[in-house]
Amino acid sequence: HALVKKIEAKCGVEVIEIFEVKPVAEKHNISFSQLWSGVFARRTLMLWLIWFGIVFSYYGIFTWLPSLLVKEGYTIVQSFEYVLVMILAQLPGYIAAAWLVEKLGRKATLAGFIGMCAVSAYFFGQSGSVTEIVIWGCLMSFFNLGAWGVLYTYTPEQYPANIRAFGSGWAGAIGRIGGIAAPFAVTHMMDMDHGFSYVFMMFTAVLIAVALIILVLGEETKGKTLESIGL
């Protein structure tokens, strides 16, 4: 507003004050304890669990997916072909999530996508044919990456402007711990009898837990002002 007034003055245009300019948030010292105080404690707990679960599932599934398919008897070439098709299904997942997030809201869309990813992961682990592998794999990929798109919107909206980047950064960091742990967990289960099925049953359980966490602890932020988020 100050810049516009300066330009107007230089151009000889009458400068008229039509509103009072207020900062979005006052500058305060930021501390870790703020994330766990008041209303933010519940939001921080929810976000850390969501990020851990969704990053755990993504890296756990897609890091070893070609190897898991090879252990099921498919050739290396076939396994990479199937994985490529599944990865392409991520693009419409993002688009669908971007549209639904303003139609259904953040909470419903995120919980729905993660819940459907859990269902897809379960049936993917029980697949016995190429057709089932591709169909359930594409759906799993579609819903998992769609959930990522919603999460990047939902996370910063849980905090007021002065701690938004700090809170979002911590949530992402906790998620990376899940991304480190998941591939190790999968490798321990791969050599078990029926390991392919057990791996995806594990991801099903994790994703269902995340969906329930969103439904129980989540707050809808669609249409909220920046000021009201801090209340």
What DSSP line would sit under 76-128, residue for residue?
Answer: HHHHHHHHHHHHHTHHHHHHHHHHHHHHT-HHHHHHHHHHHHHHHHHHHHT--
Residue 210 three-state SS? helix
Residue 32 three-state SS? helix
Q: What is the pLDDT of residue 68?
A: 87
Q: Which pLDDT tens digit goes with each residue over 171-215?
A: 999 999 999 999 999 998 888 888 888 999 999 999 999 999 999
Band (22; pLDDT cuts 50, 70, 90) = low
Q: What is the pTM of this model?
A: 0.82
Query: Does the 40-219 domain belong in CATH 1.10.8.420?
Result: no
Q: Tell me how crowded residue 157 is: count the other CB atoms within 10 A of its CB.
A: 17
Domain ranges of the chain: 40-219
Q: Which pLDDT tens digit goes with each residue over 76-104?
A: 888 889 999 999 999 999 999 999 998 99
